[in-house]
Amino acid sequence: MEGLITFSLIVFLFALLGSGVWIGLALLGVGWLGMELFSARPAGDAMAVTIWGASSSWTLTALPMFLWMGEILFRTKLSEDMFKGLAPWLERLPGRLLHTNVIGCTIFAAVSGSSAATCATIGKITLPELKKRGYPEAITIGTLAGAGTLGLLIPPSIIMIVYGVAAEVSIAKLFIGGVLPGLMLGLLFMGWIVVWALMHREAIPPCTAHTRFAEKLYAARHLIPVVLLIGLVLGSIYAGVATATEAAALGVVGSLIVAASQGALSWQTFRDSLMGATRLYCMIALILAGSAFLTLSMGYLGLPRHLAEWIGGLGLTPFWLLFGLMLFYILLGCFLDGISMVVLTIAVIQPTIQAAGIDLIWFGVFLVVVVEMAQITPPVGFNLFVLQGMTGKEITWIAWQALPAFVLMLLAVGLLYAFPGLVTWLPGQMVG
């Protein structure tokens, strides 16, 4: 009977989501229905207490701060400066300026925290520039789609904050744990560009100028603001001087200074960035509140316990458990955004993960890489939407161009499983 009730509620939830109801409201509605009809606990009282508890977490204050930092930098010349600083260093590398997509996204991801913002900001400058210089559109868009997902993995990551709050693990350790996997994935993307460029030499425009070393160093001055900002945010966390929330506040101050130094800070941009961050945070906060209440409701119905018992009864090894979860999240990512995927499932999945002896920091990074795949899988791939808006291309065409990046992310998941120290080593070195 309990299984039938749970199944009916899940079907109703997906029906609401499919009809276009806001995700947060759909979660709240299904949670209220389940608790009102099938438990003795008053739903109204439980909803009020749960929403307040989910919304008033001090840890969660890092989220709007990092969102605001990304919005401020989105309105500066940071991406354009990065292109100027990087281009001279890539002249002799196979694929040359195609690597600006990956390196630019890697750098901007370290000050943004959002996959969509990273993809849009870097694409805004690299797509027109690479097209003007004669680089093939397919590989340009495909590499940008993949590299844009680094905004989720390289700290400060919005989805890591959400996971840290939901799973009650250290956000600072999650941030540091994502550094090496993020760099590894960036190198995998660059390796693919090198291979593709060597196989299609005729498609890469010839190098028309060779910059002297002194000129390269002079051009690198454009990278100074973003390097200082990354050092300020991640360095303060790694050294144990600041919590993730305090580092976020430092990041906002630093991004305002960068914007002011570039002449991009005006009352209009200040207001637009603040309102943009507020709107995005309100959306995420509503999803988190709805998820917290739905989790409570499902707890009263016994879903987490039944699911944990069912998975435990299968006798899966950690490898097959993670493999099954990877397929589950890839499938779920075809219909939900990353944050919704995490908050909808983590309360149910976490007991099983802990029972299997899997480190929650490692699992958080594993989960983010899998969610990254969902950013470039149709029909609900956020990066695909961003690139469709920028290029006017069909989503299916963009997804096809991003397929090599998807395969490389599968390889990255395999490497993380084979070498867990890629995630756990740096957090183990943290001060405090």
- Banded pLDDT at 195 (limits 50, 70, 90): very high
Q: Which residue has tokens 């303060």?
A: 236
Least confident of 275-289, 316-330, 413-427: 275-289
Closest CA to 215 of 334, 84, 52, 310: 84
Q: Does residue 99 lie in a domain region? A: yes
**How far does Cα 277 stand from its chain's mean position?**
16
Report which residue type is found at 421: G
Give this prediction's pTM: 0.78
**In this structure, is residue 280 part of a structural domain?**
no
Per the structure, the count of domains in the chain is: 1
pLDDT-based confidence at residue 59 (cuts at 50, 70, 90): low
397 Cβ contact list (under 8 Å, min separation 6): none
Q: Per the domain annotation, does 45 fall within a domain?
A: no
Is residue 16 domain-resident? no
Is the distance from CB of 145 to CB of 390 less than 8 angstroms?
A: no
pLDDT, average across residues 56-84:
77
- Kindly provide the b/e burial profile for residues 235-256, where b requires at least 16 CB atoms within 10 angstroms of the residue's own CB: ebbbeeebbbbebbbbbbebbb
Residue 228 domain-assigned (yes or no): yes
What pLDDT was estimated at residue 379? 63
What pLDDT shows up at residue 335? 64
Q: Percentage of residues in the chain with pLDDT exceeding 70?
A: 92
Q: Please check whether residue 252 lies inside any domain of the structure.
A: yes
Q: Domain span at residue 390?
A: 57-265+302-428
What's the angle, vertex CA 349, arms to CA 48 and CA 303, rounded to 5?
Answer: 60
Whole-angstrom Cα distance, residue 223 to residue 106? 13
CA 29 – CA 34 distance, rounded (Å): 9
For residue 187, pLDDT beyond 90: yes
- pLDDT band of residue 416 (cuts 50, 70, 90) is very high
* Mean of pLDDT values over 185-211: 85
Q: pLDDT (tens digit, 9 = 90+) per residue, 290-301? A: 877 877 777 777
- Owner of token pair 């190198």: 187
Give 126-156 pLDDT, tens digit per residue.
888 788 888 888 899 999 988 888 888 888 7
> Does a cis peptide bond (omega within 30 degrees of 0) precede residue 379?
yes
pLDDT at 2 over 70: no
Over residues 210-260, the pLDDT tens digits come to 778 788 888 888 888 888 888 888 888 777 788 878 888 898 999 899 888
Flag whether 192 is in a domain: yes
Residues 353-362 have a mean pLDDT of: 89
Mean pLDDT (whole number) for 354-380: 86
Residue 3 lies in a domain: no
